[in-house]
Amino acid sequence: CVRLAAWIFLLLLPGLSDGGKLLVVPMDGSHWLSMRQVVEKLTERGHEVVVVIPEVSWQMGMTQAYTVKTYPVSFTLEELDGAFHEYVHSHLKGLPFPQNALALYNSSIAVFNVFFSHCKDLFRNRELMQYLNQSDFDALLTDPISLCGAIVANYFSLPFIFFMRGFPCGLHYTATQCPNPLSYVPRLFTFNSDRMTFFQRVENALVALLELGYCNGFYAEAMKFSSEVLQRDVSLLDLLTSASIWLLRFDYVLEYVRPVMPNMIFVGGINCVQKKPLSKVRSFSPDYTFSNEIGFFQIAHKESSYDLNTAKFRNVSYSNLSKLFLIFWVFLFFNHKTPITHLNNWVT
Ligand SMILES: *[C@@H]1O[C@H](CO)[C@@H](O)[C@H](O)[C@H]1NC(C)=O
Ligand SMILES: *[C@@H]1O[C@H](CO)[C@@H](O)[C@H](O)[C@H]1NC(C)=O
Ligand SMILES: *[C@@H]1O[C@H](CO)[C@@H](O)[C@H](O)[C@H]1NC(C)=O
Ligand SMILES: *[C@@H]1O[C@H](CO)[C@@H](O)[C@H](O)[C@H]1NC(C)=O
């Protein structure tokens, strides 16, 4: 992360000595846990950082370290939790394929829309918007998934930097016009490698066909809103292509080697930064342990017949995929409690 901070430092400060002014529009959850340290480091180095967050959130709160501006939102924490629980529940219903995928898709749209509604609340908040307009920021740092930061950056015509681990539909490659040949670059969740058989390539092509439709559906509400505020027809790619830099928290345990564009910079693995020792530990597979402090982990534990050790991540069947997503998601969400190196044992 020191390297990452150094990168941002360099990016924001070409030849200046008195610090830049950065607006941060973060995404809640694990996304913020990883970004927070960058924000703190930038503040430490004398940059003026303003973080804009909704009043209701899981992980994001007030701090002494940098300026935080909050805005009231139209949902409660219970509603946010409720949408998330529904999302978790949809993984565990045990529906057959393709109903499981549909339910999953459905609930992820629902949880995203609750998340995204805070963006509408931000734009509704005239006082804060006026403050942002008058603050004369040099750049904006955001997570692409929520799209809100990208909309704000486009709205105020600010150069912006994405900081991310993953993005659905390979949009980070499409938006940057990265070479992405279907014959060699496996699409997400196909679990293929860069050496595909003919039929795997066909599968890869079919998944790639689904991708844009999937993301257009997923982001439909957000696109409608951004067209309203930007007062033009905005496509998903329009919003994303104007990003100046993509800082990628990629780890090659999960990614294949592939070409990237010069504005895509690898800043080191997945990382939610704080590593705390596990307090209560349950063995989930011979190689891996989870904390069982939180209800979700116990759900995962009930599924312990699911053997992560033999059903390895890459060739697990589709019917078991949603459980794996859940476990993986939970892992990412709470991995600030676990040493990241365990992932090496887990995913092969
Ligand atoms: C998706 O959600 C809508 C309501 O938001 C519901 O009517 C529909 O039945 C759901 N479909 C599936 C497959 O769960
Ligand atoms: C920002 O404020 C200026 C005037 O100070 C105004 O002309 C401009 O339209 C505002 N920009 C936005 C995006 O609201
Ligand atoms: C995974 O795939 C490899 C080879 O493709 C196969 O040998 C192995 O049995 C598979 N594992 C499972 C759990 O299906
Ligand atoms: C999928 O899960 C079921 C039980 O939920 C298990 O019996 C089966 O072996 C799993 N299949 C794979 C490929 O992991």
- Encode pLDDT of 127-150 as tens digits: 999 999 999 999 999 999 989 999
277-281, 288-292, 298-302: the lowest-pLDDT one: 298-302
Please list the residues that pair with 291 across neighbouring strands.
281
Confidence of residue 313 (pLDDT cuts 50, 70, 90): very low
Q: Within a domain: residue 298?
A: yes
Domain co-membership, 76 together with 204: yes
Say what the pLDDT of residue 338 is.
36
Domain co-membership, 222 together with 88: yes
| CA nearest ligand 2 atom 13, residue | 156
Question: What sign has the CA pseudo-torsion 88, 250, 113, 122?
Answer: positive
Does this model's pTM top 0.85? My answer is no
| CA nearest ligand 3 atom 3, residue | 315
304 lines ligand 4 (CB under 6 A): no
Q: Within a domain: residue 274?
A: no
Q: Within a domain: residue 338?
A: yes
Q: Within a domain: residue 10?
A: no
Domain co-membership, 195 together with 315: no
Q: Within a domain: residue 138?
A: yes
Among the bound ligands, name the one nearest to the CA of residue 104: 1
Domain co-membership, 257 together with 315: no
Domain co-membership, 164 together with 229: yes
CATH of the domain at 126: 3.40.50
Residue 224 is encoded by which pair of tokens? 């409608």
Number of domains in the chain: 2
> Cα separations (Å) of 98 from 103, 229, 263, 296?
9, 36, 37, 24
Q: Within a domain: residue 177?
A: yes
Instruction: Count the residues in the chain.
Output: 348
Domain co-membership, 24 together with 66: yes
Range of the domain at 101: 17-266
